Amino acid sequence: MQILENEPMNKHTSFKVGGPARFFVKAESVDDLKEALAMAREKGLPHFILGNGTNLLVSDKGYEGVVITLAGEFSEIADMGKGAFKAGAAVPLGRFARTALKQGYAGIHKLAGIPGTLGGAIYMNAGAYGQEIGTHCTQVVTLDEAGNIRERSASECAFGYRQSIFQKSGAGGAQAETILSATFLLESANTACESQEQTVARLEAELQECMAKRKATQPLNMPNAGSTFKRMERGSADMPQQVAPGYYIEQAGLKGLRIGGAEVSTLHANFIVNAGGATAKDILDLSDYVKAAVAKKFGIELQREIIMLGEF
């Protein structure tokens, strides 16, 4: 188990900002993870489980706690046959989606462009292009604060739009359960009139179409953390409708607005990017300004999708 002190978090987040973590631990096994959690308890510090840092804003002051990143055995994928897969929390979501796709299974293949890990995807119930990771999840294995392994059914995970039961957190970002792995049951995309090779080619074409859309509409060449604000539910219970925050941000005339080195993307209004030399405070201040401006103009309260870590 690797332990670093005062590790700069700008090296571990897609925003490329953030001060040092008091301790930064790389855990490659359940025993390593238990040891890291025990260290946090002994020192009276909170802990945070880090995936790829692609949906995270860390304070410029850093994080006075233990950041734990998973590797080793948490990076494995098991094909259990007939569409059943088990993947560790550290598996890149894109790698898992492509593994299933190559076997001719659909349901998560359009998520391959999301740059996070499986654990982070389960935590946030990540989704894109009409697919969500929780839809085909059958079980999530976790480690609770007492050191016990828990197996949660899909219903226990309470998946919703960018929500799961795992988002319950204590002060300072301490997490009640650590996601170790998840099991999925995916549907075969094979049809009677095509071969396995044709099925895989069709799914790959669908994936490439999504990747092309992502590249054309999102500022992938600049440091960012994906969508800044969640889509909003509008309409009635019988006819719910999701409304994109980017529309309201753009209509408020905020595209290209800058505070320090942070900028509302000129390509996609629901992305805040590090345009060069941004601080975490720049990004937070800009998101606060956007929230206030949209609320004033449209009476709509935007909700951040990005996770905040540390004191701001």
Q: Which residues are catalytic?
A: 162, 227, 305
Provide φ and ψ at 156, rounded to 5°: -65, -25
Closest to 54 (Cα-Cα) out of 306, 280, 259, 294: 306
- 137-144 and 177-185 strand pairing: antiparallel
The answer to whether 258 and 49 have CB atoms below 8 angstroms apart is no
In whole angstroms, give the CA distance from residue 37 to residue 211: 37
242 CB neighbour count, 10 Å cutoff: 11
Whose CA is closest to 47, among 158, 144, 185, 154?
144
Alpha helices in 143-269 (DSSP H): 154-157, 196-217, 245-251
Q: Among 305, 309, 279, which Cα is nearest to 67's?
A: 309
CA 177 remoteness from chain centre? 16
The token duo for 60 is 């410029």
Note the helical H segments in 194-233: 196-217
Distance set, CA 116 to CA 56, 78, 123, 293, 301 (Å):
11, 19, 11, 30, 27
> Cα(30)–Cα(119) distance, rounded to whole angstroms?
14
Give the chain's end-to-end CA distance (angstroms, integer): 30
Taking the C-alpha atoms of residue 95 and residue 45, their distance in angstroms, rounded to an integer, is 33
Beta carbons of 109 and 93 less than 8 angstroms apart: no
User: Which helix (H) or strand (E) segment is 310 a member of?
Assistant: none
